[in-house]
Protein backbone atom coordinates (compact mmCIF):
# COMPACT_ATOMS: atom_id res chain seq x y z
CA UNK A 1 0.00 0.00 0.00
CA UNK A 2 1.45 3.36 -0.98
CA UNK A 3 2.28 6.20 1.38
CA UNK A 4 -0.15 8.51 -0.41
CA UNK A 5 -3.08 6.15 0.06
CA UNK A 6 -2.27 6.07 3.75
CA UNK A 7 -1.86 9.85 3.83
CA UNK A 8 -5.37 10.44 2.51
CA UNK A 9 -6.89 7.61 4.56
CA UNK A 10 -7.83 5.69 1.42
CA UNK A 11 -6.41 2.42 2.73
CA UNK A 12 -8.85 2.51 5.64
CA UNK A 13 -11.68 3.58 3.32
CA UNK A 14 -11.08 0.62 1.02
CA UNK A 15 -10.88 -1.76 3.96
CA UNK A 16 -14.14 -0.47 5.40
CA UNK A 17 -15.81 -1.03 2.03
CA UNK A 18 -14.53 -4.61 1.80
CA UNK A 19 -11.94 -3.93 -0.89
CA UNK A 20 -8.44 -5.42 -0.73
CA UNK A 21 -5.59 -4.43 -3.04
CA UNK A 22 -3.51 -7.51 -2.29
CA UNK A 23 -2.36 -10.13 -4.80
CA UNK A 24 -2.97 -8.01 -7.92
CA UNK A 25 -6.70 -8.27 -7.52
CA UNK A 26 -9.68 -7.17 -5.50
CA UNK A 27 -11.58 -9.42 -3.15
CA UNK A 28 -15.14 -8.50 -2.34
CA UNK A 29 -18.22 -9.90 -0.67
CA UNK A 30 -20.52 -12.18 -2.63
CA UNK A 31 -19.54 -13.72 -5.93
CA UNK A 32 -17.20 -11.60 -7.97
CA UNK A 33 -16.94 -12.83 -11.55
CA UNK A 34 -13.53 -11.87 -12.88
CA UNK A 35 -11.45 -14.17 -15.04
CA UNK A 36 -10.27 -11.64 -17.61
CA UNK A 37 -7.52 -9.09 -18.00
CA UNK A 38 -6.14 -6.87 -15.26
CA UNK A 39 -7.39 -3.30 -14.94
CA UNK A 40 -5.61 -0.56 -13.02
CA UNK A 41 -7.59 2.16 -11.28
CA UNK A 42 -5.76 5.48 -10.83
CA UNK A 43 -6.90 8.56 -8.97
CA UNK A 44 -7.01 11.72 -11.11
CA UNK A 45 -6.25 13.67 -7.95
CA UNK A 46 -2.62 12.57 -7.68
CA UNK A 47 -2.09 9.94 -10.38
CA UNK A 48 -1.77 7.31 -7.67
CA UNK A 49 -2.53 3.66 -8.48
CA UNK A 50 -5.36 2.74 -6.12
CA UNK A 51 -5.77 -0.91 -7.02
CA UNK A 52 -5.35 -3.49 -9.75
CA UNK A 53 -8.37 -5.66 -10.37
CA UNK A 54 -9.38 -8.47 -12.66
CA UNK A 55 -12.07 -7.80 -15.24
CA UNK A 56 -14.83 -10.05 -16.49
CA UNK A 57 -14.70 -11.98 -19.73
CA UNK A 58 -17.37 -13.60 -21.89
CA UNK A 59 -17.60 -16.76 -19.78
CA UNK A 60 -18.03 -14.66 -16.64
CA UNK A 61 -20.83 -12.77 -18.38
CA UNK A 62 -22.62 -16.00 -19.26
CA UNK A 63 -22.38 -17.23 -15.66
CA UNK A 64 -23.77 -13.95 -14.34
CA UNK A 65 -26.73 -14.05 -16.72
CA UNK A 66 -27.58 -17.59 -15.59
CA UNK A 67 -27.40 -16.47 -11.95
CA UNK A 68 -29.64 -13.51 -12.75
CA UNK A 69 -32.20 -15.66 -14.56
CA UNK A 70 -32.37 -18.05 -11.62
CA UNK A 71 -32.65 -15.22 -9.08
CA UNK A 72 -35.45 -13.56 -11.05
CA UNK A 73 -37.66 -16.65 -10.75
CA UNK A 74 -37.52 -16.29 -6.97
CA UNK A 75 -37.45 -12.53 -6.63
CA UNK A 76 -40.50 -11.84 -8.82
CA UNK A 77 -42.65 -13.95 -6.48
CA UNK A 78 -41.82 -11.81 -3.45
CA UNK A 79 -44.57 -9.19 -2.86
CA UNK A 80 -43.57 -5.68 -3.88
CA UNK A 81 -43.70 -4.26 -0.32
CA UNK A 82 -41.33 -7.03 0.78
CA UNK A 83 -39.00 -6.11 -2.07
CA UNK A 84 -39.26 -2.55 -0.81
CA UNK A 85 -38.05 -3.78 2.57
CA UNK A 86 -34.84 -5.01 0.92
CA UNK A 87 -34.32 -1.58 -0.63
CA UNK A 88 -35.02 0.02 2.76
CA UNK A 89 -32.26 -2.06 4.34
CA UNK A 90 -29.93 -1.12 1.51
CA UNK A 91 -30.64 2.55 2.24
CA UNK A 92 -29.74 1.99 5.89
CA UNK A 93 -26.46 0.38 4.89
CA UNK A 94 -25.71 3.34 2.62
CA UNK A 95 -26.18 5.66 5.58
CA UNK A 96 -23.63 3.62 7.51
CA UNK A 97 -21.14 3.68 4.64
CA UNK A 98 -21.86 7.20 3.39
CA UNK A 99 -18.58 8.77 4.51
CA UNK A 100 -16.43 5.97 3.15
CA UNK A 101 -18.27 5.59 -0.15
CA UNK A 102 -18.45 9.36 -0.67
CA UNK A 103 -14.71 9.61 -0.04
CA UNK A 104 -13.98 6.82 -2.52
CA UNK A 105 -16.16 8.49 -5.16
CA UNK A 106 -14.23 11.72 -4.64
CA UNK A 107 -10.82 10.07 -4.79
CA UNK A 108 -11.39 7.66 -7.67
CA UNK A 109 -13.49 10.02 -9.83
CA UNK A 110 -12.14 13.42 -8.83
CA UNK A 111 -15.28 15.33 -7.87
CA UNK A 112 -15.20 17.37 -4.67
CA UNK A 113 -15.71 15.53 -1.39
CA UNK A 114 -19.01 17.33 -0.81
CA UNK A 115 -20.19 16.26 -4.24
CA UNK A 116 -19.07 12.70 -3.53
CA UNK A 117 -21.04 12.66 -0.29
CA UNK A 118 -23.95 14.28 -2.11
CA UNK A 119 -23.94 11.50 -4.67
CA UNK A 120 -24.27 8.88 -1.94
CA UNK A 121 -27.09 10.95 -0.44
CA UNK A 122 -28.86 10.68 -3.81
CA UNK A 123 -28.60 6.91 -3.45
CA UNK A 124 -30.16 7.10 0.00
CA UNK A 125 -32.92 9.38 -1.29
CA UNK A 126 -33.85 7.11 -4.19
CA UNK A 127 -34.02 4.17 -1.78
CA UNK A 128 -36.45 6.11 0.40
CA UNK A 129 -38.49 7.01 -2.68
CA UNK A 130 -38.54 3.41 -3.89
CA UNK A 131 -39.61 2.02 -0.52
CA UNK A 132 -42.79 4.13 -0.56
CA UNK A 133 -43.31 3.36 -4.23
CA UNK A 134 -43.24 -0.38 -3.55
CA UNK A 135 -46.76 -0.02 -2.13
CA UNK A 136 -48.00 2.15 -5.01
CA UNK A 137 -47.39 0.15 -8.19
CA UNK A 138 -50.95 0.85 -9.23
CA UNK A 139 -52.78 -0.41 -12.29
CA UNK A 140 -56.09 0.88 -13.68
CA UNK A 141 -59.66 -0.33 -13.76
CA UNK A 142 -62.00 0.61 -16.61
CA UNK A 143 -65.56 -0.21 -17.73
CA UNK A 144 -66.09 -2.85 -20.39
CA UNK A 145 -68.63 -2.28 -23.16
CA UNK A 146 -69.78 -5.89 -22.69
CA UNK A 147 -72.18 -6.77 -19.85
CA UNK A 148 -70.76 -8.98 -17.13
CA UNK A 149 -67.16 -8.16 -17.98
CA UNK A 150 -64.47 -6.40 -16.00
CA UNK A 151 -61.36 -4.79 -17.49
CA UNK A 152 -58.21 -3.67 -15.77
CA UNK A 153 -54.51 -3.08 -16.38
CA UNK A 154 -51.63 -4.30 -14.28
CA UNK A 155 -47.84 -4.20 -14.38
CA UNK A 156 -45.41 -7.12 -14.20
CA UNK A 157 -41.62 -7.18 -13.85
CA UNK A 158 -39.56 -7.34 -17.03
CA UNK A 159 -36.84 -9.73 -15.89
CA UNK A 160 -33.19 -8.76 -16.22
CA UNK A 161 -32.39 -5.05 -16.33
CA UNK A 162 -28.96 -4.12 -17.67
CA UNK A 163 -27.31 -0.92 -16.46
CA UNK A 164 -24.32 0.69 -18.19
CA UNK A 165 -23.19 3.74 -16.23
CA UNK A 166 -20.63 6.50 -16.76
CA UNK A 167 -17.66 7.64 -14.67
CA UNK A 168 -19.05 11.05 -13.72
CA UNK A 169 -21.73 9.62 -11.43
CA UNK A 170 -20.13 6.29 -10.56
CA UNK A 171 -22.75 5.20 -8.00
CA UNK A 172 -25.85 7.42 -8.09
CA UNK A 173 -27.08 6.64 -11.60
CA UNK A 174 -26.79 2.92 -10.91
CA UNK A 175 -28.90 3.35 -7.79
CA UNK A 176 -31.58 5.34 -9.66
CA UNK A 177 -32.09 2.39 -11.95
CA UNK A 178 -31.49 -0.36 -9.43
CA UNK A 179 -33.78 0.78 -6.63
CA UNK A 180 -36.72 1.09 -9.03
CA UNK A 181 -35.88 -2.11 -10.90
CA UNK A 182 -35.76 -4.07 -7.65
CA UNK A 183 -39.05 -2.87 -6.20
CA UNK A 184 -40.64 -3.73 -9.56
CA UNK A 185 -39.41 -7.31 -9.16
CA UNK A 186 -36.51 -7.24 -11.61
CA UNK A 187 -32.92 -8.33 -11.14
CA UNK A 188 -30.02 -6.19 -12.36
CA UNK A 189 -26.73 -6.63 -14.19
CA UNK A 190 -24.44 -3.61 -13.93
CA UNK A 191 -21.49 -2.72 -16.12
CA UNK A 192 -19.87 0.32 -14.47
CA UNK A 193 -17.33 2.58 -16.11
CA UNK A 194 -13.84 1.12 -16.36
CA UNK A 195 -12.61 4.46 -14.99
CA UNK A 196 -14.34 4.00 -11.62
CA UNK A 197 -14.47 0.24 -10.92
CA UNK A 198 -13.75 0.43 -7.19
CA UNK A 199 -16.84 2.51 -6.53
CA UNK A 200 -18.92 -0.18 -8.20
CA UNK A 201 -17.26 -2.99 -6.27
CA UNK A 202 -17.97 -1.12 -3.04
CA UNK A 203 -21.66 -0.83 -3.93
CA UNK A 204 -21.82 -4.53 -4.77
CA UNK A 205 -20.22 -5.38 -1.44
CA UNK A 206 -22.82 -3.33 0.41
CA UNK A 207 -25.88 -4.83 -1.31
CA UNK A 208 -24.36 -8.32 -0.99
CA UNK A 209 -24.52 -7.90 2.79
CA UNK A 210 -28.23 -7.09 2.59
CA UNK A 211 -29.03 -10.03 0.32
CA UNK A 212 -27.07 -12.43 2.52
CA UNK A 213 -28.77 -11.19 5.69
CA UNK A 214 -32.16 -11.84 4.07
CA UNK A 215 -31.24 -15.24 2.59
CA UNK A 216 -31.86 -13.99 -0.91
CA UNK A 217 -29.97 -15.00 -4.07
CA UNK A 218 -26.90 -12.90 -4.83
CA UNK A 219 -28.03 -12.95 -8.46
CA UNK A 220 -30.58 -10.24 -7.68
CA UNK A 221 -27.73 -7.72 -7.95
CA UNK A 222 -24.90 -8.42 -10.38
CA UNK A 223 -21.88 -6.36 -11.38
CA UNK A 224 -19.28 -6.95 -14.08
CA UNK A 225 -16.21 -4.77 -14.55
CA UNK A 226 -15.08 -5.06 -18.15
CA UNK A 227 -14.37 -3.25 -21.38
CA UNK A 228 -16.69 -2.51 -24.31
CA UNK A 229 -17.02 -6.22 -25.07
CA UNK A 230 -19.01 -6.80 -21.86
CA UNK A 231 -21.18 -3.81 -22.73
CA UNK A 232 -21.81 -5.20 -26.20
CA UNK A 233 -22.86 -8.56 -24.77
CA UNK A 234 -25.29 -6.82 -22.45
CA UNK A 235 -26.74 -4.70 -25.25
CA UNK A 236 -27.18 -7.61 -27.66
CA UNK A 237 -28.43 -10.21 -25.17
CA UNK A 238 -32.08 -11.20 -25.63
CA UNK A 239 -32.11 -12.28 -21.98
CA UNK A 240 -31.78 -8.62 -20.99
CA UNK A 241 -35.23 -7.04 -21.25
CA UNK A 242 -34.15 -3.44 -20.64
CA UNK A 243 -30.81 -1.69 -21.07
CA UNK A 244 -30.32 1.63 -19.30
CA UNK A 245 -27.33 3.40 -20.83
CA UNK A 246 -25.67 6.60 -19.65
CA UNK A 247 -22.95 8.00 -21.88
CA UNK A 248 -22.21 9.82 -25.09
CA UNK A 249 -24.70 10.41 -27.88
CA UNK A 250 -22.36 8.61 -30.28
CA UNK A 251 -22.36 5.38 -28.28
CA UNK A 252 -26.00 5.80 -27.25
CA UNK A 253 -27.05 5.80 -30.89
CA UNK A 254 -25.42 2.37 -31.29
CA UNK A 255 -26.93 1.05 -28.05
CA UNK A 256 -30.43 2.23 -28.93
CA UNK A 257 -30.25 0.77 -32.42
CA UNK A 258 -28.95 -2.63 -31.31
CA UNK A 259 -31.44 -3.00 -28.46
CA UNK A 260 -34.32 -1.98 -30.74
CA UNK A 261 -33.27 -4.51 -33.39
CA UNK A 262 -33.92 -7.30 -30.93
CA UNK A 263 -37.12 -5.60 -29.73
CA UNK A 264 -35.71 -4.88 -26.30
CA UNK A 265 -36.34 -1.72 -24.28
CA UNK A 266 -33.80 1.00 -23.61
CA UNK A 267 -33.42 4.08 -21.45
CA UNK A 268 -30.89 6.44 -23.00
CA UNK A 269 -29.32 9.25 -20.98
CA UNK A 270 -26.92 10.88 -23.42
CA UNK A 271 -25.26 14.25 -24.05
CA UNK A 272 -26.30 17.65 -22.76
CA UNK A 273 -25.52 21.16 -24.00
CA UNK A 274 -27.28 23.07 -21.29
CA UNK A 275 -27.95 26.79 -21.22
CA UNK A 276 -29.05 29.38 -18.70
CA UNK A 277 -30.90 32.40 -20.05
CA UNK A 278 -30.18 35.51 -17.97
CA UNK A 279 -32.81 38.14 -18.70
CA UNK A 280 -32.73 41.86 -18.03
CA UNK A 281 -35.07 41.16 -15.09
CA UNK A 282 -32.82 38.56 -13.44
CA UNK A 283 -31.40 38.70 -9.93
CA UNK A 284 -27.76 38.81 -10.98
CA UNK A 285 -26.39 37.61 -7.64
CA UNK A 286 -28.44 34.42 -7.94
CA UNK A 287 -27.56 34.14 -11.61
CA UNK A 288 -23.82 34.20 -10.98
CA UNK A 289 -24.03 31.52 -8.27
CA UNK A 290 -26.10 29.25 -10.51
CA UNK A 291 -23.91 29.82 -13.54
CA UNK A 292 -20.56 29.31 -11.80
CA UNK A 293 -21.55 26.14 -9.96
CA UNK A 294 -23.26 24.79 -13.05
CA UNK A 295 -20.16 25.41 -15.16
CA UNK A 296 -17.35 24.32 -12.82
CA UNK A 297 -19.05 21.80 -10.49
CA UNK A 298 -17.57 18.32 -11.03
CA UNK A 299 -15.06 20.17 -13.25
CA UNK A 300 -17.73 20.49 -15.91
CA UNK A 301 -18.17 16.72 -16.11
CA UNK A 302 -21.90 16.55 -15.48
CA UNK A 303 -24.35 15.82 -18.26
CA UNK A 304 -26.30 18.75 -16.76
CA UNK A 305 -23.28 21.09 -16.54
CA UNK A 306 -23.92 24.62 -17.75
CA UNK A 307 -22.21 24.97 -21.15
CA UNK A 308 -23.82 28.18 -22.42
CA UNK A 309 -24.95 31.46 -20.86
CA UNK A 310 -27.43 33.36 -23.02
CA UNK A 311 -27.41 36.91 -21.64
CA UNK A 312 -29.58 39.92 -22.42
CA UNK A 313 -27.58 42.69 -24.04
CA UNK A 314 -28.51 45.21 -21.33
CA UNK A 315 -26.82 43.17 -18.57
CA UNK A 316 -24.24 41.34 -20.67
CA UNK A 317 -21.18 43.36 -19.66
CA UNK A 318 -22.18 43.36 -16.00
CA UNK A 319 -22.65 39.57 -15.98
CA UNK A 320 -19.37 39.03 -17.83
CA UNK A 321 -17.44 41.19 -15.37
CA UNK A 322 -18.99 39.42 -12.39
CA UNK A 323 -18.12 36.04 -13.86
CA UNK A 324 -14.51 37.05 -14.46
CA UNK A 325 -14.28 38.17 -10.83
CA UNK A 326 -15.89 34.94 -9.56
CA UNK A 327 -13.59 32.74 -11.64
CA UNK A 328 -10.63 34.59 -10.19
CA UNK A 329 -11.65 33.30 -6.76
CA UNK A 330 -11.91 29.63 -7.70
CA UNK A 331 -9.58 27.24 -5.88
CA UNK A 332 -8.43 24.25 -7.91
CA UNK A 333 -6.86 21.20 -6.32
CA UNK A 334 -7.24 17.81 -4.67
CA UNK A 335 -10.91 16.96 -4.41
CA UNK A 336 -10.50 15.62 -0.86
CA UNK A 337 -9.53 19.11 0.30
CA UNK A 338 -12.86 20.76 1.13
CA UNK A 339 -11.40 24.24 0.60
CA UNK A 340 -11.10 23.56 -3.14
CA UNK A 341 -13.95 24.34 -5.53
CA UNK A 342 -12.72 22.41 -8.57
CA UNK A 343 -11.05 19.02 -8.76
CA UNK A 344 -9.36 17.29 -11.69
CA UNK A 345 -10.74 15.95 -14.95
CA UNK A 346 -11.08 12.18 -15.00
CA UNK A 347 -7.94 11.46 -17.04
CA UNK A 348 -5.45 12.83 -19.58
CA UNK A 349 -7.74 11.94 -22.50
CA UNK A 350 -10.29 14.34 -21.04
CA UNK A 351 -7.57 16.99 -20.74
CA UNK A 352 -6.72 16.52 -24.41
CA UNK A 353 -10.39 16.98 -25.39
CA UNK A 354 -10.48 20.15 -23.26
CA UNK A 355 -7.39 21.53 -25.03
CA UNK A 356 -8.71 20.61 -28.47
CA UNK A 357 -12.03 22.34 -27.75
CA UNK A 358 -10.31 25.53 -26.66
CA UNK A 359 -8.24 25.55 -29.85
CA UNK A 360 -11.30 24.91 -32.03
CA UNK A 361 -13.14 27.72 -30.26
CA UNK A 362 -10.32 30.14 -31.06
CA UNK A 363 -10.19 29.02 -34.68
CA UNK A 364 -13.94 29.53 -35.09
CA UNK A 365 -13.83 33.06 -33.69
CA UNK A 366 -14.24 32.64 -29.94
CA UNK A 367 -12.78 35.33 -27.70
CA UNK A 368 -11.64 34.13 -24.27
CA UNK A 369 -12.30 36.48 -21.36
CA UNK A 370 -11.00 33.92 -18.86
CA UNK A 371 -8.12 31.92 -20.29
CA UNK A 372 -7.88 28.17 -19.93
CA UNK A 373 -4.86 25.91 -19.64
CA UNK A 374 -3.45 22.82 -17.97
CA UNK A 375 -2.03 23.30 -14.48
CA UNK A 376 1.39 21.92 -13.56
CA UNK A 377 3.45 21.66 -10.41
CA UNK A 378 3.66 19.48 -7.33
CA UNK A 379 -0.02 19.89 -6.44
CA UNK A 380 -1.10 18.99 -9.98
CA UNK A 381 1.19 16.04 -10.60
CA UNK A 382 -1.51 13.84 -12.12
CA UNK A 383 -1.69 16.12 -15.16
CA UNK A 384 -5.49 16.16 -14.96
CA UNK A 385 -6.05 19.67 -13.56
CA UNK A 386 -7.26 22.42 -15.88
CA UNK A 387 -8.40 26.01 -15.54
CA UNK A 388 -12.12 26.71 -15.93
CA UNK A 389 -12.41 29.20 -18.79
CA UNK A 390 -14.96 31.50 -20.43
CA UNK A 391 -15.29 32.47 -24.09
CA UNK A 392 -17.54 34.86 -25.97
CA UNK A 393 -18.99 33.00 -28.95
CA UNK A 394 -21.84 32.67 -31.40
CA UNK A 395 -24.29 29.83 -30.86
CA UNK A 396 -23.70 28.69 -34.44
CA UNK A 397 -20.05 27.80 -33.89
CA UNK A 398 -19.50 24.10 -34.50
CA UNK A 399 -17.70 23.65 -31.19
CA UNK A 400 -20.59 25.29 -29.32
CA UNK A 401 -23.00 22.81 -30.92
CA UNK A 402 -21.08 19.94 -29.33
CA UNK A 403 -20.75 18.84 -25.71
CA UNK A 404 -17.27 19.11 -24.22
CA UNK A 405 -17.01 17.34 -20.87
CA UNK A 406 -14.86 20.04 -19.28
CA UNK A 407 -15.24 23.45 -17.55
CA UNK A 408 -15.59 25.61 -20.68
CA UNK A 409 -18.37 28.19 -20.51
CA UNK A 410 -19.67 30.02 -23.59
CA UNK A 411 -21.23 33.50 -23.41
CA UNK A 412 -23.88 34.46 -25.99
CA UNK A 413 -25.69 37.81 -26.28
CA UNK A 414 -29.40 38.24 -27.14
CA UNK A 415 -31.97 41.03 -27.63
CA UNK A 416 -35.45 39.46 -27.23
CA UNK A 417 -36.63 36.54 -25.13
CA UNK A 418 -37.95 34.79 -28.23
CA UNK A 419 -34.43 35.01 -29.68
CA UNK A 420 -32.96 33.67 -26.43
CA UNK A 421 -35.29 30.66 -26.43
CA UNK A 422 -34.40 29.95 -30.06
CA UNK A 423 -30.72 30.04 -29.14
CA UNK A 424 -31.34 27.81 -26.14
CA UNK A 425 -33.12 25.27 -28.33
CA UNK A 426 -30.72 25.67 -31.26
CA UNK A 427 -28.45 22.73 -30.41
CA UNK A 428 -28.87 18.99 -31.07
CA UNK A 429 -29.09 18.12 -27.36
CA UNK A 430 -32.06 18.69 -25.08
CA UNK A 431 -31.32 17.74 -21.48
CA UNK A 432 -31.42 20.63 -19.01
CA UNK A 433 -32.17 24.35 -19.25
CA UNK A 434 -32.87 27.31 -17.00
CA UNK A 435 -33.98 30.92 -17.01
CA UNK A 436 -33.06 33.58 -14.47
CA UNK A 437 -35.84 36.18 -14.22
CA UNK A 438 -38.11 37.90 -11.74
CA UNK A 439 -40.72 38.49 -14.44
CA UNK A 440 -43.56 35.95 -14.24
CA UNK A 441 -44.40 36.33 -17.93
CA UNK A 442 -40.84 35.53 -18.98
CA UNK A 443 -40.78 32.47 -16.73
CA UNK A 444 -44.09 31.15 -18.02
CA UNK A 445 -43.14 31.68 -21.66
CA UNK A 446 -39.92 29.73 -21.06
CA UNK A 447 -41.92 26.84 -19.58
CA UNK A 448 -44.65 26.90 -22.22
CA UNK A 449 -45.01 24.80 -25.36
CA UNK A 450 -43.03 27.43 -27.29
CA UNK A 451 -40.32 27.61 -24.64
CA UNK A 452 -37.52 25.24 -23.70
CA UNK A 453 -37.45 21.96 -25.62
CA UNK A 454 -35.45 20.19 -22.91
CA UNK A 455 -36.51 17.41 -20.58
CA UNK A 456 -35.64 19.67 -17.63
CA UNK A 457 -36.55 23.37 -17.52
CA UNK A 458 -35.86 25.41 -14.38
CA UNK A 459 -36.63 28.92 -13.20
CA UNK A 460 -34.18 30.77 -10.94
CA UNK A 461 -32.01 27.72 -10.32
CA UNK A 462 -29.20 26.35 -12.46
CA UNK A 463 -29.14 23.47 -14.90
CA UNK A 464 -27.50 20.94 -12.56
CA UNK A 465 -28.62 19.41 -9.30
CA UNK A 466 -31.79 17.52 -10.26
CA UNK A 467 -33.83 16.06 -7.39
CA UNK A 468 -34.70 12.36 -7.39
CA UNK A 469 -38.44 13.06 -7.04
CA UNK A 470 -38.76 14.21 -10.64
CA UNK A 471 -38.20 12.24 -13.82
CA UNK A 472 -34.66 12.82 -15.07
CA UNK A 473 -33.83 12.84 -18.77
CA UNK A 474 -33.91 14.80 -21.99
CA UNK A 475 -35.07 15.04 -25.58
CA UNK A 476 -33.49 15.06 -29.05
CA UNK A 477 -29.94 13.68 -29.02
CA UNK A 478 -30.11 13.31 -25.25
CA UNK A 479 -32.03 10.14 -25.97
CA UNK A 480 -35.53 10.65 -24.61
CA UNK A 481 -35.07 8.37 -21.61
CA UNK A 482 -36.22 9.00 -18.07
CA UNK A 483 -34.79 7.82 -14.76
CA UNK A 484 -35.34 8.36 -11.05
CA UNK A 485 -38.67 9.75 -9.78
CA UNK A 486 -42.26 10.47 -10.82
CA UNK A 487 -43.79 7.49 -12.67
CA UNK A 488 -40.51 6.31 -14.16
CA UNK A 489 -41.09 2.91 -12.49
CA UNK A 490 -43.31 2.03 -15.45
CA UNK A 491 -40.22 1.82 -17.67
CA UNK A 492 -39.09 -1.17 -15.62
CA UNK A 493 -42.32 -3.14 -15.99
CA UNK A 494 -44.43 -4.65 -18.75
CA UNK A 495 -48.00 -3.46 -19.06
CA UNK A 496 -50.83 -5.96 -19.36
CA UNK A 497 -54.54 -5.43 -20.10
CA UNK A 498 -56.90 -8.00 -18.57
CA UNK A 499 -60.58 -8.74 -19.32
CA UNK A 500 -62.62 -11.07 -17.11
CA UNK A 501 -65.97 -12.50 -18.20
CA UNK A 502 -67.98 -13.53 -15.14
CA UNK A 503 -71.14 -14.55 -17.03
CA UNK A 504 -72.22 -17.84 -18.64
CA UNK A 505 -72.20 -16.39 -22.19
CA UNK A 506 -69.59 -15.00 -24.54
CA UNK A 507 -70.72 -11.71 -26.12
CA UNK A 508 -68.20 -10.29 -28.59
CA UNK A 509 -66.95 -6.73 -28.74
CA UNK A 510 -68.66 -4.18 -31.02
CA UNK A 511 -71.78 -6.39 -31.13
CA UNK A 512 -70.24 -8.93 -33.53
CA UNK A 513 -72.32 -12.12 -33.95
CA UNK A 514 -70.55 -15.47 -34.28
CA UNK A 515 -73.07 -18.22 -33.57
CA UNK A 516 -72.18 -21.90 -33.91
Residue 102 has phi, psi (to 5 degrees) of: -60, -40
R_g of the chain computed on alpha carbons: 25
β strands within 341-478, DSSP E: 367-370, 389-392, 408-414, 429-430, 432-436, 456-459, 471-472, 475-476
Task: State the catalytic residue, choosing from 108, 119, 122, 269.
Answer: 269
Report the half-sphere exposure of 468 (CA within 13 A, side-chain side): 24
- Is residue 269 part of the annotated active site? The answer reads yes
Helices (H), 248-315: 249-261, 284-296
DSSP result, 432-455: EEEEE-S-HHHHHHHHSTTS--SS
Task: State the catalytic residue, choosing from 28, 199, 203, 303.
Answer: 303
β strands within 71-193, DSSP E: 140-143, 149-157, 160-164, 187-191
- Is residue 213 part of the annotated active site? The answer reads no
Q: Which of 446, 329, 423, 385 is nearest to 45 (CA)?
A: 385
Distances in whole angstroms, Cα of residue 339 to Cα of each of 101, 124, 343, 415 = 20, 25, 11, 39
Q: Which of 104, 239, 132, 2 is nearest to 469 (CA)?
A: 132
Give the residue numbers annotated as catalytic, written as ranges.
269, 303
Amino acid sequence: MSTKLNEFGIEKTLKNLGISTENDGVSCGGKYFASGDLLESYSPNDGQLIATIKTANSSDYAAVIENAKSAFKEFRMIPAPKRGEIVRQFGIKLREYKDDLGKLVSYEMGKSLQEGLGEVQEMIDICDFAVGLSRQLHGYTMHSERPGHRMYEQYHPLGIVGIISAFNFPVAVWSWNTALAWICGNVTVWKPSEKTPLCAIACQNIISQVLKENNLPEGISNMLVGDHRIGEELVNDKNVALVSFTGSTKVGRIVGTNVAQRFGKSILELGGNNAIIITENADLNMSIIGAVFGAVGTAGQRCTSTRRLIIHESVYEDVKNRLVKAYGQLKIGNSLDESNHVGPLIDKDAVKQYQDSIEKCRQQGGKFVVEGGVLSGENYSSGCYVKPCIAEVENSYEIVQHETFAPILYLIKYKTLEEAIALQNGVPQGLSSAIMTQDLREAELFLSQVGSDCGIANVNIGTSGAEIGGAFGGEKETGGGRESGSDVWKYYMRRQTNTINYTDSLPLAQGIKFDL
